[in-house]
Structure 1
Amino acid sequence: MFGLFNSTSKAYQNLKPAEFAAGLRQPGALLLDVRRPDEFAAGHLPGAVNLDVTSPEFARRVAALDKAQPTYVYCRSGARSATAAAQLTGAGFTTVANLLGGVMDWPEKLVR
């Protein structure tokens, strides 16, 4: 699955739902939901960790994560997660993917 990523690039990858789902199946993948806690509570992808990208705590909480862990981010439509993905790559994360279309385009049922 690491073939989706260019190791010489600091940029994150924008992935369609099927590609994103395939990436999540790799061992050790971290799934971040960067929406507000109320949005997360209303329904999220299974196994997701909620880190609100608009929170003043976002950068501090991200700094505690493993930068080498493949990290997959999503939001409602893909806009906030693109912002988060850029922040993660800027913070030194080596493998970051953004879900194009966010949960609005996710084909599977969300969990609560």
Structure 2
Amino acid sequence: MANLSQKDWTEQLNADDNAVILDVRTEAEVAEKKIPNSINIDIYKGQGFVYQLEELDKSKNYYVYCRSGARSEKACNIMNQLGFDNAYNLLGGILEWTGDVE
């Protein structure tokens, strides 16, 4: 797991042909705004979160974010424990995000 600044996270994401953007916030938070093309798996779903992660392709590179960066850091650690080699946490989360949102 790597904690990346918004600049590094965005540059690495844009250069990555094997990237998946993962939003680990609640559905209500996602409804307010989200980074385009992200998929949502709510970390607060407990074991359900783990089950959904296990359905993902472990060969992909995951760019993970939440509101402030704390939940996404936890999510990256869980992903590493499940065998995901490439999970990148967005420091500051969507609160500090200056890129496009939908």
Q: Please confirm whether the aligned pair reaches a TM-score higher than 0.5, indicating the same fold.
A: yes
Over the residues paired in the alignment, what is the CA RMSD in angstroms? 0.9
C-alpha separation in 2, matches of 1:23 and 1:84: 19
Equivalent position of 1:84 in the other structure: 75
TM-score normalized by the length of structure 2: 0.94
Q: Percent identity?
A: 36
TM-superposed CA distance for 1:109, in Å, is 3.5
Unpaired segments ≥5 residues, structure 2: none
SS at 1:54's partner residue? helix
8 Å Cα contact 2:58-2:83 kept in structure 1: yes
Matched, 1:14 2:3: yes
Higher strand share: 2
C-alpha separation in 2, matches of 1:36 and 1:23: 25
Higher helix share: 2
Residue type of the alignment partner of 2:12: G
Equivalent position of 2:101 in the other structure: 110
8 Å Cα contact 2:36-2:100 kept in structure 1: no
TM-score normalized by the length of structure 1: 0.86
8 Å Cα contact 1:78-1:99 kept in structure 2: yes
Matched, 1:73 2:64: yes
Aligned pairs for 1:14-93 within 5 A: 14-25=3-14, 26-56=16-46, 57-93=48-84
Residue type of the alignment partner of 2:5: K
Unpaired segments ≥5 residues, structure 1: 1-11
Residue type of the alignment partner of 1:55: K
C-alpha separation in 1, matches of 2:4 and 2:42: 20
Residue type of the alignment partner of 2:13: L
1:27-53 deviation per Cα after TM superposition (whole angstroms, max 9, x unaligned): 120110000011011100011000001
How many pairs are equivalent? 100
